[in-house]
Structure formats: structure tokens, C-alpha cells
């Protein structure tokens, strides 16, 4: 007998971005049991569909809109309910627009905080994967201004994120060693305090406590060299968005997949946005969404 198919809930994202067309393309050739969640008009021909019709006026041209935000959030809510009820095994989300969500009255929230609130997880961790032999790259802070990163940094926050990453490496990714590398905030990881004190004040104390728990942790690592020696690590914790994502996308732009850690479910998504400018053009690349489905099945299995 063949292996059991994983039931994947695939939300089509903002209906006026590239999500619906990419979702259809990926669902049609997926080996797993993929159910699409979205507008039945846009997702005609889908073998499995949870219909969440668009309510409101459709914009004349693709772009952020309250209608798009409401539709994307409604589809996500239905999928999360099915995940919680055990009717699906994993969640894959096509991109939504924070601007559309804000216009719909939901605030400028992305998938990660929305999932956290629904499943009762205070601070789910955004992470990225692209190859089984490469480290899982997690982000301590995500969509905040760069000037706010230092002020938001605490040793407790670093420790907690590292523990979530370590648990995921062991339980989800089956990494036996779960070797962690934690990046510094400043150039040269502060250079002994000459370029900043955040490493000594917040990162180093967290690393000491993690080592006391028995974890194999290195750092604070200079951000400009950590990825050059990434084969030494199973997981890397970057302290801010571009510190982690710039190298990830340089290394594997079309294969990188966003994975939310710390949730009671498996959730993945492509590492790109709504691409309103490509919607309906036929030029959008499904590679990252296809990789997200493969990773979701692998992690759920």
C-alpha cells in the first residue's frame, strides 16, 4: 500500500492578487489531498473546494481593497476552523495583503499573528526553509521598523524564540543535533561593545541560559558571516526581518518557504507576496507555493 495522503487546506489568499491562479495550478498537480478555500467563481474546476464567496464590490483593477481583505480573512477563518476540528492535516496559505486586511477593518496583520490569535499562541515564530540540508532560519522580530528592533530586544525574548526553534527542529524537522546559531544585532556582533551593547545585554545572557538547559548554541554571531558558515547549524535565529530574509532569498528565492513555528498545526506559505501587478497575466511563478505544499506534507507526515 502507498503512503497515506496528507489533507492540506490551501487558502487562495487575496482574491485580486496571484493567489487564486497559483493555488489552482498547484492543487491540480499535487500528490496530496489538497482542498482550496476561496471564491468558487475564481476557483472553478477545483476538484476539492470549500466555497467562500467574495462579498462586496470587486475592484476594477488588481490591488489592495476592503473586499479583498474580507474575502481572504473569511477563507482563512474557514480553513483554521477545519484544522482545529481535525478535518485537515496541514495549512498552506497563498499571500494576503496587510493593506487589504487593514481596509477590511482587521488591522494591518499578516498570517502569523492571525494564526497565533486563533490558536491561542502568544508569539508564533516566523521561519524559512528551502532544503533539508540547510538550516531553518527564524526571525525574532518581523514587520517592525528597523529603528524599533533594538528597543524591542530582551534576553527573555531571545531565549523563548530559541526554545521554540529548537523544539521545532527536533519535533517537526527531525534534526537530531538541533545546533543553534543566534545572530548579533550590530556589525561584527557588537565587536566587544565598541559597536553596541545589545549583544552583551540581551543576546549573550540568553545564550548562557540556553546552554545551561543543555542546548548546543553558538553566538552572538556576526550577521555578515553567519550564513557563510551555515553548514555548522541546524537552525539560525536572526534578530530582524532583512537580516534573515535577505540571505535566504538570495540563496533560494523560488524555493524558500515560510513555516510558522510554535503553533499546534503545520502551516507553510510561499516566500512572496500578492504580486498584484502580475495578477491575471499568466507570468506568476508557482514554484514557491508548490514547495510550500511539499513542505507542509513532509512536516505533517
Tens digits of pLDDT across the chain (301 residues): 467 899 999 999 999 999 999 999 999 999 999 999 999 999 998 989 999 999 989 998 899 999 999 999 999 999 999 999 999 999 999 999 999 999 999 876 789 999 999 999 999 999 999 999 999 999 999 989 999 999 999 999 999 999 999 999 999 999 999 999 999 999 999 888 999 999 999 999 999 999 999 999 999 999 999 999 999 999 999 999 999 999 999 999 889 999 999 999 999 999 899 999 999 888 999 999 999 999 999 999 9
Q: Do domains 1-124+263-301 and 125-261 have the same CATH topology?
A: yes
Selection from 49, 44, 38, 35 nearest residue 13 by Cα: 38
Which CATH architecture group holds 1-124+263-301?
3-Layer(aba) Sandwich (3.40)
Domain ranges of the chain: 1-124+263-301, 125-261
φ, ψ of residue 184 to 5 degrees: the values are -85, 170
190 within 8 A of 199, measured Cβ to Cβ:
yes
Q: Is 217 helix (H, G, I), strand (E, B) or coil?
A: strand
Q: Is 98 helix (H, G, I), strand (E, B) or coil?
A: helix
Q: What is the pLDDT of residue 2?
A: 61
Q: What is the pLDDT of residue 3?
A: 77
Alpha-carbon distance of 39 to 42, in angstroms, equals: 5
Q: Where are the beta strands (DSSP E) in 150-265?
A: 180-183, 217-221, 235-238, 257-261
**Residues near 132 by beta carbon (within 8 Å), at least 6 away in sequence:** none
Q: What is the pLDDT of residue 254?
A: 87
Torsion of CA 21, 25, 30, 33, to 10 degrees: 40
Selection from 106, 56, 52, 41 nearest residue 79 by Cα: 52
CB atoms within 10 A of CB 278: 17
Selection from 256, 182, 264 nearest residue 223 by Cα: 182
Residue at grid coordinates 473546494: 49
Read off the C-alpha cell for 198: 545589545
Give the HSE-up count for residue 237: Cα atoms under 13 Å, Cβ half-sphere: 29
Alpha-carbon distance of 204 to 216, in angstroms, equals: 14
Does domain 125-261 fall under CATH 3.40.50.2000? My reply is no
Alpha-carbon distance of 108 to 240, in angstroms, equals: 19
Amino acid at each position: 500500500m502507498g503512503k497515506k495522503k496528507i489533507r492540506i487546506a490551501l487558502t487562495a489568499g487575496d482574491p485580486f492578487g496571484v493567489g487564486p491562479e497559483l493555488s489552482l495550478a498547484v492543487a491540480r498537480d499535487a500528490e496530496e489531498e489538497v482542498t482550496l478555500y476561496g471564491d468558487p467563481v475564481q476557483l472553478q474546476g477545483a476538484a476539492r473546494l470549500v466555497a467562500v464567496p467574495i462579498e462586496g464590490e470587486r475592484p476594477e483593477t488588481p490591488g489592495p481593497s476592503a473586499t479583498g481583505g474580507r474575502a481572504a480573512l473569511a477563507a482563512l477563518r474557514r480553513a483554521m476552523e477545519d484544522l482545529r476540528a481535525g478535518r485537515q492535516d496541514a495549512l498552506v496559505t497563498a499571500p494576503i495583503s496587510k493593506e487589504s486586511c487593514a481596509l477590511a477593518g482587521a488591522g494591518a496583520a499578516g498570517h502569523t499573528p492571525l494564526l497565533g490569535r486563533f490558536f491561542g499562541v502568544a508569539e508564533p515564530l516566523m521561519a524559512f526553509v528551502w532544503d533539508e540540508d540547510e538550516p531553518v532560519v527564524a526571525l525574532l522580530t518581523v514587520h517592525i521598523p528597523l529603528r524599533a528592533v533594538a528597543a524591542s530586544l530582551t534576553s527573555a525574548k531571545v531565549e523563548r524564540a530559541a526554545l521554540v526553534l529548537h523544539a521545532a527542529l527536533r519535533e517537526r524537522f527531525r534534526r537530531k543535533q538541533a545546533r543553534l546559531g543566534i545572530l548579533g544585532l550590530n556589525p561584527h556582533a557588537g565587536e566587544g561593545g565598541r559597536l553596541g551593547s545589545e549583544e552583551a545585554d540581551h543576546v549573550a545572557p540568553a545564550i548562557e541560559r540556553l546552554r545551561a538547559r543543555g542546548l548546543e548554541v553558538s553566538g552572538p554571531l556576526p550577521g555578515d558571516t553567519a550564513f557563510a558558515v551555515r553548514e555548522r547549524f541546524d537552525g539560525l535565529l536572526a534578530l530582524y526581518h532583512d537580516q534573515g530574509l535577505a540571505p535566504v532569498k538570495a540563496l533560494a528565492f523560488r524555493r524558500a518557504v515560510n513555516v510558522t513555528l510554535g503553533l499546534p498545526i503545520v502551516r507553510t506559505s510561499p516566500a512572496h507576496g500578492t504580486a498584484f501587478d502580475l495578477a491575471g497575466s499568466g507570468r506568476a511563478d508557482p514554484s514557491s507555493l508548490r514547495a510550500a505544499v511539499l513542505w507542509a506534507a513532509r512536516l505533517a507526515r
